[in-house]
Chains A and B, each alone.
Chain A
Amino acid sequence: MEATHLLPEVTWVGVLIKTVIILAIISALAGFGTFIERKVLAFMQRRLGPMHVGPYGLLQIAADGIKLFTKEDIIPQNANKLIFMVAPLITAATAFIALGAVPVFPDFTVPDFIPFIGGTFVPSIASDLNIGILFVLGMMASGLYGPLLAGMSQANKWGIIGAARTAIQFLSYEVITALAILAPVMLVGSLSFVDFNMYQSGGVSSWLIWQQPVAFILFLIAGFAETNRTPFDLLEHEAEVVSGYATEYSGMRWGMFFIGEYANMITISVIAAIVFLGGYDASSSIGWLTIMLKIAFFFFLMLWVRAAWPHVRPDQLMWFCWKVLMPIAVLNVLITAIIVLL
C-alpha cells in the first residue's frame, strides 16, 4: 500500500482512459489470440495455418472481423428472444469487467501536448480494489451465465446439453479455484494484486510458485476449466454436442462469446503470472516486459495443451474436481495454515 502513496492521484478521467485502453487493446488482443491459436495449432500439426490474407496471414483477423460483423444475426423462432440476445453480452462484459481490476499495462501519464486529457495519470489497474483477486474470480464466475442462458434460451437440444454442462462445470471447478488461491492468499495476507506483487518482489526465489506448487497446479487446472479450454471444453465440444451452447448463434453474437473467452484466457494468465510467478516490477519497463512474457507463456500453454491433450467427459471432470482436486486443495490449505501459524 505504501507504494501507491508515491504515485499521483488517480482521477476519474484516468480511470476512464484506462477503461478505454483495456477495451480497445484486449478486444484487439482477443482477435489476435484467435490468430495465434490457429497458427500455433497449425505449427504443432505441421501445417501452415492462415497464410494468404496479409503477410503471414496477419490480416486474417480483419477478414474474420468483417465476416462476423456483416453476417446475418439469426434468432431461432422458438427461442426466448430477449435472453438469447443478452447472453453473449454477459460473457463479453464480465470478461472485461474482470480485467478492470487486474494490472495489465504499466501506469503512465498522458503527455501534456494532447488537449483536454494532457497530464492525466493513468493507473495500471483501472480500479485498485483491495480484494482484487476475489473480484476478478467472482466476475469470471458470473461470466458463465452467458453460456448457461444462451444454451437454455435457444430451444435446441444441443444448447440445453451445453447449458447443463455449463452448470456442472461451474459447480465443479469454482471450489477448486477458490481453495487453490486461498493458500497463497494466506501466505501473503491480502487479496490485493499489489500486495501479491510486493510480496514477491525479491527476485525469482521469492516467487510463490516455489512455496505453493500444488496450489499453482490446482489453480491452473481450474483456470482451464474456467475458460473452457481443451481438457475441459465440455460446453461446446463439436464432437459431442455439435457446438453446445453456441449452436444457434451466428455473426457477432457468436463472436462475442469468443472475445469473452479469449479475454478470460488473458485474465487467467495475468492472475497466474501475478499470484504465482512474481508479477510485475513497476519501477522499470523491463519489469512490465517480463510480465508480458509470463502472460504470453500461459496463453501459449493453453494453446499447447489444446494441441496435445484429449478432453475429458463431464462425469470425469466432476469426479476429478470433487474427488481428487478438492481433497488435495483442502489439504494444501490445511498444511499452509499450520505452517503459517507455526
Chain B
Amino acid sequence: MFENFITSLMTVEGFAFYLFSFLTIGLFSVTVMSKNILYSMTSLAAAMVLVSGFFFLLGADFLGVIQIIVYVGAVIALYAFAMMFFDATRDIKEKNTNSFVVFLLGGMSALVLVLMFAAPIHSNDIQALYPMTEGVGNAQDVGMVLFTKYLVPFEVAAVMLLVAMIAGIILAGKKMNHSITENMEIDNDAKDEIMIQKDKE
C-alpha cells in the first residue's frame, strides 16, 4: 500500500494528484474551520479552482475550465453577500447551541457521501460508460453525452434555472418602476409627512 503511494508519487501525474488533493482538502477544512469570513471565502474559492486541477489531470480540459468559470462567478456572488452581512476584518462569534447535533448530522452525511462514492472502488470492473473519443475535442464529447443520454435532465435543469431566474426578477423588480430621482415631489411629500408625524410626537 505504502509502496504504491511512493511509486505513484514519483510520476508527474501522481505527484500532481496528491498535491491537489492535500491542497483541496486543506483549503476546504480552512473554509469550515475558520471564523474569519474572508479566510473561509478565499479558501473556498481557491479550493474550487484547485478542484479543476483534477479535471485537467484526467484530460477533461473542458470540464476543468467550466469548473473554474462557474465557481469563480458563484463564489464572487457569495463574496457580495459576505460583504453585505459581515465585517470582513473581524472574527465571527458563532452561536452554536448544540454542537453535538451539528457534529452528528455533519459527520453522518459526510460518511454516507464517502461510502456512496467509495463503494464502486472495491469492485474490479470499473469502466467508463462514455469513453473519450479519439480525435474529437473535449467539448464535443461532453456535448454528445449531454444531448443524447442526458437530454431530459439537462432540459429539466435548464427549466429550473429559468424558473429561478424569473422568480428572482419578480422578487427584485417589484418597485422597478419607481425611480428615486425622477419622482422628487412624491419623496418630498413623504418626507414632510414624516416630519409632521415626528412633530406630533
Contact = CB atoms under 8 A, between A and B. Distances in A.
* Chain A complexes with chain B: yes
Interface of A: 78-80, 82-83, 86, 129-131, 134-135, 137-139, 141-142, 144-145, 148-149, 152-153, 155, 160, 163-164, 167-168, 170-171, 174, 178, 190-192
Interface in B105-149: 137-139
Interface stretch (B16-24, B71-79, B187-195): B71-79
A179 to B, nearest CB: 13
Interface residues of B, number: 25
Nearest to A168: B80
A78 B38 CA distance: 13
A134 to B, nearest CB: 4
B69 A131 contact: no
**Residue from B61, B65, B73 whose CB has the most chain A CB atoms within 10 Å:** B65
Contacts of A137: 69
A82 B88 CA distance: 13
Interface string B30-47: 000000101100100100
B83 A134 contact: no
B37 to A, nearest CB: 9
26 contacts: A78-B89, A80-B36, A80-B89, A86-B42, A129-B65, A130-B61, A130-B138, A131-B61, A131-B137, A134-B65, A134-B66, A145-B42, A145-B76, A148-B76, A148-B79, A152-B83, A152-B88, A153-B38, A155-B89, A163-B83, A164-B83, A167-B80, A167-B83, A171-B73, A171-B80, A178-B69
B138 A171 contact: no
B38 A149 contact: yes
Nearest to A12: B12
B68 interface: yes
Interface in B39-66: 39, 42, 45, 49, 61-62, 65-66
Given A79-B89, A141-B72, A164 B139 contact: no
A144 B137 contact: no
**Shortest Cβ-Cβ A-B pairs, 4 listed:** A138-B68, A138-B69, A167-B80, A134-B65
Given A134-B62, A174-B73, A152 B79 contact: yes
Nearest to A139: B68
A183 to B, nearest CB: 15
A149 B83 CA distance: 11
Nearest to A152: B88
A138 B42 contact: no
B65 A135 contact: yes
A190 B73 contact: no
Nearest to B78: A167
Interface of B: 36, 38-39, 42, 45, 49, 61-62, 65-66, 68-69, 72-73, 76-77, 79-80, 82-83, 88-89, 137-139
Contacts of B77: 167, 171
Contacts, number: 90
Contacts of A149: 38, 42
Contacts of A148: 76, 79
A141 B76 CA distance: 10
Contacts of A83: 38-39, 42
A160 B69 contact: no
Nearest to B73: A174
Contacts of B39: 80, 82-83
B42 to A, nearest CB: 6
Contacts of A82: 39
A160 B72 contact: no
Contacts of B138: 130-131
A152 B69 contact: no
A142 B137 contact: no
A152 B79 CA distance: 9
A142 B66 CA distance: 12
Contacts of A167: 76-77, 79-80, 83
B176 to A, nearest CB: 11
**Residue from A131, A149, A163, A190 whose CB has the most chain B CB atoms within 10 Å:** A131
Contact of B83 (A129, A160, A170, A174): A160
Contacts of B79: 148, 152, 163, 167
Nearest to B36: A80
Nearest to B56: A129
A174 B68 CA distance: 13
Contacts of A191: 62, 137, 139
Nearest to A166: B76
Given A82-B39, A152-B38, 18 more contacts: A129-B65, A130-B138, A138-B69, A138-B72, A141-B69, A141-B72, A148-B76, A149-B42, A152-B88, A160-B88, A163-B83, A167-B76, A167-B77, A168-B80, A171-B76, A171-B80, A191-B137, A192-B137
A160 B65 CA distance: 29
Contacts of B88: 80, 152-153, 160
